[in-house]
Amino acid sequence: AALTAGLLQLLLQGLRGSRPSEVLALPLDILKRANLQQFVAISRMNGFVNILRKMKQQAAAAAAAAAAGAAAGAAAAQP
C-alpha cells in the first residue's frame, strides 16, 4: 500500500500545475523508461498505468473543453 501511495504521489506532485498538453505528452511506460520495472511488481505498474491513463483522459477532456470555449468566445467576438 505504501508503494502504491508513493507512486500516486509521484504522479500528483509531478503533474501539479501542468497544462493538459503536458499530461498528454507523458508516456504510459514512464516507469519502464525510468528503469523502475525491476523494483515495482507488475500489478503495481498496471495500477500506475491505469491511473495515468485516467489522468490523460481527464486532461484530454479539459483540453477539448478549453478549445471549445475558445472557439465559442472567438465566434461571439465576430461582428
Q: How does pLDDT run across 13-56, given as a tens digit for each residue?
A: 999 999 999 999 999 999 999 998 899 999 999 999 999 999 99
Q: Indicate if the pLDDT at residue 1 is higher than 90.
A: no
Is 78 domain-assigned?
no
- Whether residue 46 is contained in a domain is answered as yes
**Model confidence, pTM:** 0.80
Q: What angle do CA 64, 58, 28 make, to 5 degrees?
A: 115
User: Does residue 8 lie in a domain region?
Assistant: yes
Q: 15 near 22, Cβ under 8 Å?
A: yes
User: Residue 64 falls within a domain, yes or no?
Assistant: no
pLDDT computed for residue 73 by the predictor: 63
Q: Is the pLDDT of residue 79 over 90?
A: no
Note the maximum CA span of the chain: 61
Residue 65: what pLDDT? 93
How many distinct structural domains can be found in the chain? 1
pLDDT class of 74 with cuts at 50, 70, 90: low
Domain that holds residue 26: 2-59
Domain assignment present for 40: yes
